[in-house]
Each structure stands twice: as C-alpha cells, then as structure tokens.
Amino acid sequence: MNVFGKRERSWRKARKRGVSPIIATILLVAITVVLAAVLYVLISGLTKGPGSTPIGSAFGYGVAQQSSGSATSPCGASPPAGHCYSVGIASASSTVTTANVKFTVQSGGSPVSMPGGATVTILSLTGTTLAAFNFTAGTWSGGSLPVTFASTDTLVLYTSISVSGDDLIAAGTGALQGTTSVALP
C-alpha cells in the first residue's frame, strides 16, 4: 500500500507544477506586444496626419459659367473670344492655398493641352487679381504668395481654345491630396 500512496502523492505534485517563471514572462511580453500592435493598426487608420487631407473636403467649386463678354463679368470687358470661364468657390478651408493646388483641364479623363497664356486667376470680391496659375509653366504668380483661397473669391479660366464640356480639375499637393473637379459649361 505504501507504493500506491507514494505514486499518488508524486502524481499530485507533478500536477501542481506550473510553467517556469522565465517562460511565463516571455509569454506575457509577447501577448502585450501583439495586443499593442493590433491596437496601433486599428487606431492609425482612424487618424489623419499632415499631408493626408483630401482636397474634396477642404475645397469645393461653386457655379461655373462661360463669359458672354459683358463688362460686369469677372472676365472683364473683353474676354478672349468668348473663351473665359468663371467659377465660384463654394467652400475653402484655410489649408487651401496657391502653394498646394495645381489646375488642369481634362476632357473625358485625359488632360487637355492648354496653349501658352492660358491661366486660372483668383479674383477677390472687388475684382482684384490675387494670383494667377499658368498652365504652361505649372506655377503661380502674384503679389504675395501663397494666397489662401476664400469662398468670396472667384476663379477665372482664360484660354484661347474652347474647353466647354471639359472639366477644370484642382489637384492637391503638399497638405492636400487627390482631386476635385467642376464641369465647364
């Protein structure tokens, strides 16, 4: 009977043994690292860092109209052969500046080759020219750059070719990403 009693006691002792402290520590650290990585992946998708603002959430086109050549038009008293388009700015956050917006004209998704002298000009409410984007150079010019777009401003597209039915695309650079467009009448 002593033999059976001894075996029973040693079996109970073996059952009560746990994992060694070193392995337990390694397992706890591994579980913590995995949970931290999963939490980071979940949270990082919810936040937006600098340079990831979609232009469509910061800038919106208003009404686009083709100039008829009248003196009251934002295109001036004599727009180039009726190829002048004015577009109101419906909304613009403080991040929309000439430093991070470039313009193109597209027809059916393909860029239109704009002639020399074609520009998009930002006019203030009083008709003052704030800045002009030159399509050929792909650069802005004006008094004090960068100019911040405002919803009281108007964009005026001057070109010697007809772009009716095409789209004026604003492409974000730097702090803005993506594109937003308006159909030209």
CA-to-CA distance for 79 and 181, rounded, in angstroms? Answer: 23
SS3 141: strand
Residue 91 token pair = 């909304």
How buried is 96 (Cβ within 10 angstroms: 0-12 exposed, 13-18 middle, 19+ buried)? buried
* pLDDT of amino acid 10: 61
The DSSP code for 144 is S
* pLDDT of amino acid 36: 95
* pLDDT of amino acid 32: 96
Instruction: Count other Cβ atoms within 10 Å, centred on residue 120.
Output: 25
* pLDDT of amino acid 78: 55
* Rg, C-alpha atoms of the chain: 32
Residue range 11-40, pLDDT digits in tens: 556 566 667 889 889 999 999 999 999 988
Asked if residues 157 and 100 have their Cβ atoms less than 8 Å apart, the reply is no
* pLDDT of amino acid 35: 95
Q: For residue 67, give the nearest of 113, 29, 123, 114 by alpha carbon.
A: 123
Q: Which residues of the chain have pLDDT under 50?
A: 51, 71, 81
Collect all residues with Cβ–Cβ distance below 8 Å to 12 and sequence separation of at least 6.
Answer: none
